[in-house]
Copies of this chain bind each other. A is one copy, B any other.
Amino acid sequence: MTSRIQQLRSALIWLALIIPSAMLIGSICAGFLMSLHYVTDARFASPWFIYLLPLGGLLVGLLYHHFGGKSDEGNNLIMDQIHAPGGGVPTRMAPLVFLGTIITHLFGGSAGREGTAVQIGGSIASTLCRRLRLDPDSVKVLLMCGIAAGFGAVFGTPIAGAIFALEVLMIGRIRYESLLPCLIAAITADWTCRLWGAHHTHYAISYLTSIDPPSAFFHLELGIFLKVILAAILFGLAGTLFAKLTHGIGHVFKSTIKYPPLRPFIGGFIVIGLFHLVGTPDYLGLGVWSNNPDAVTISSLLSSPEIHHWSWFWKLLFTAITLGAGFKGGEVTPLFFIGAALGNVLAWVLNAPPSLFAAIGFVAIFAGATNTPIACTIMGIELFGATHGIYLAIACLIAYYASGHSGIYMSQRIAIPKF
């Protein structure tokens, strides 16, 4: 009985730690999502902002160079601190990555938001751990809660957020110790974020939206299933290509430009050049929505059957240069775009429904690039409903295998090799 009381006491202490931190993380994520919306609309209203991208890059670079400390290591630093708790994640990482991402998006850098949210979550959780002088085991759990909270809130997918925090650390294994704290953190943060009125894009697949209830939770056609498997191999390879290209470009920038703030400055000019080369602003910024109804966006790829042959390639290049040069933001939303656009063109090649393949590509490329197949399957179901669950699950898993052992997070460890 005493041990039951101790367990209850320990559970209450954990709740008292997790719930307020998750509410804080959710609130900051709400502010972040709203700011992102605001600066993206500002850029749509004043398209010439793109010409300030090099200056924006210089500003981000100077901020990180003079005030960043270890903040520049981003998500990898958080993962390292979970694997081997040490100096922790600096508090300043949260405001810096918030500001850096907003600047990147205001001037049209092609980047995402999950990295930002995860870093905000990790930085707040780590700060709390330092203040309370928690032991290393508790630090691990709380940092994972920070990841789950940030991820769950920024995408509005708390179950996926909790599983992601468990799955992203190690390839090939999940340990359950932190599952409940992570789920509570993700639900709390997501909820807080919604209470603030933060906007999550509602994604809808136009394919099979109005099927009968009896089959609504299960739908499978052999032809489409086999096409999904073929496409999933390419989604996985595209995930690897994205990771390698981003790291490779980052390496080139680091080895050729010694003064760090200059790297995003130069990177900004390259993005401007690319923008003039392709002649469309569709690959700038987040890519989720646009003020131009004819633009290629994640939403348009999911709803329209129109085919865009090379959108996936351009978005991949724009993003690899933006992030490789040192701009801030996440990799995941661009990955969604690249996957959806690749799904769109593969649907054309394979004679399959473009909106369905866009949705499958959206999550499968992410599963390949981050090695998190279960989180991505659940995310697909949280975003698109359960109707296409089987396609989503098999695609995420095949992409996971096809992408090999590399990924966008250098600090991910291999617990069990894929093959």
Seen from chain A, the residues whose Cβ lies within 8 Å of a Cβ on chain B are: 7, 10, 156, 158-159, 162-163, 171-177, 179-180, 183-184, 187, 191, 202, 204, 213-214, 216-218, 220, 222, 225, 373-374, 377-378, 381-386, 389-390, 393-394, 397-398, 401, 416, 418-419
- Contacting pair A159 B191 (CB below 8 A): no
For the complex formed by this chain, how many copies does it contain in all? 2
B220 touches A191 (CB 8 A): yes
Q: Nearest Cβ distance between residue A220 and chain B, in whole angstroms?
A: 6
Chain B residues within 8 Å of A390, by CB: 158-159, 187
Closest to A214 in B: B202
A389 contact set on B, CB distance < 8 A: 159, 381-382
B217:A385 contact, CB within 8 angstroms: yes
Using CB atoms, name the residue of chain B closest to A215. Answer: B202
Q: How far is the CB of A151 from chain B (nearest CB, A)?
A: 15
Q: Which of A191, A393, A419 has the most CB of B within 10 A?
A: A393
Contacting residue for A172 out of B175, B216, B384, CB 8 A: B175
Contact between A173 and B174, CB atoms less than 8 A apart: yes
CA distance A174 to B172 in the complex (A): 8
Contact between A416 and B218, CB atoms less than 8 A apart:
no
28 A-B pairs with CB atoms under 8 Å apart are: A158-B390, A159-B390, A172-B175, A172-B177, A174-B176, A175-B416, A176-B373, A176-B416, A177-B416, A179-B373, A179-B397, A180-B397, A180-B401, A183-B393, A183-B394, A187-B390, A187-B394, A191-B220, A191-B222, A202-B214, A216-B385, A217-B384, A217-B385, A218-B382, A374-B374, A381-B386, A381-B389, A382-B389
